[in-house]
Amino acid sequence: MPNTLSDQETILLIADLEEKLLDGFKRTDLNTLDLLFADGMLFHDQYGNVLDKEMDLDAYRSGMIKITKINVSKREIRVFESIVIVSASLFIKGSYSNILLNGKYQWLRVWGKVREDWKVISASCTSITV
C-alpha cells in the first residue's frame, strides 16, 4: 500500500514507532514487539547471527536478551515512498546470551508498509567504539 502521508508526517510517525519499539525492548513487551515486527522480518545481530521474527521474539521470551537501558544519541530517518530507513546510535545496557551489553551500537532498521501498518522488515546492529 502506498504511503499517503507527507515525508515530514511519515518521519514523525516512524519516530513515534521507534520510541514504542525501544520501550518494548526495555520492558520485554512481546505484544508490542510482535505488533511492530513484520512476519518476514530478518535481523542481523552484532555477532553475525541472522534471526527471523520468531527467533528474535523467542530470545526475549526466554530471557536470552535483557535490556535495562537504551539511550539514543543520534537518529536519522529517511523516507523512500513506502520504505523508511532509520539509522540510530544507541547506548545499550543489558545482556545478550549471558554476554554483558554496556556500550554503543549502531542500528539500521528498515520500516515497510505491510497492508496498512508500518512494520520493521529488516534490522542490523553493529557494536561501535568511540
If one counts every other C-beta atom within 10 angstroms of the C-beta of residue 31, the result is 8
pLDDT for the residue numbered 122 = 98
Q: What is the reported pTM? A: 0.92
Task: Give the mean pLDDT of 99-127.
Answer: 94
Note whether 114 and 40 are within 8 A (CB).
no
Cα 9 to the center of its chain, rounded Å: 20
Dihedral over Cα of 83, 107, 75, 54: its sign: positive
Domain definitions of the chain by residue range? 7-128
Band of residue 81 on the pLDDT scale cut at 50, 70, 90: confident
Choice between 62 and 47, residue whose per-residue pLDDT is larger: 62
Domain 7-128 adopts which CATH fold? Answer: Nuclear Transport Factor 2; Chain: A, (3.10.450)
Percent of the chain with pLDDT over 90: 82
Residue 94 has pLDDT above 90, yes or no: yes
Residue 48 has pLDDT above 70, yes or no: yes
Residue 96 has pLDDT above 80, yes or no: yes
pLDDT for the residue numbered 97 = 86
Least confident piece of the model among 57-61, 65-69, 119-123, 125-129:
125-129
How far is it, in rounded angstroms, from Cα 93 to Cα 106?
14
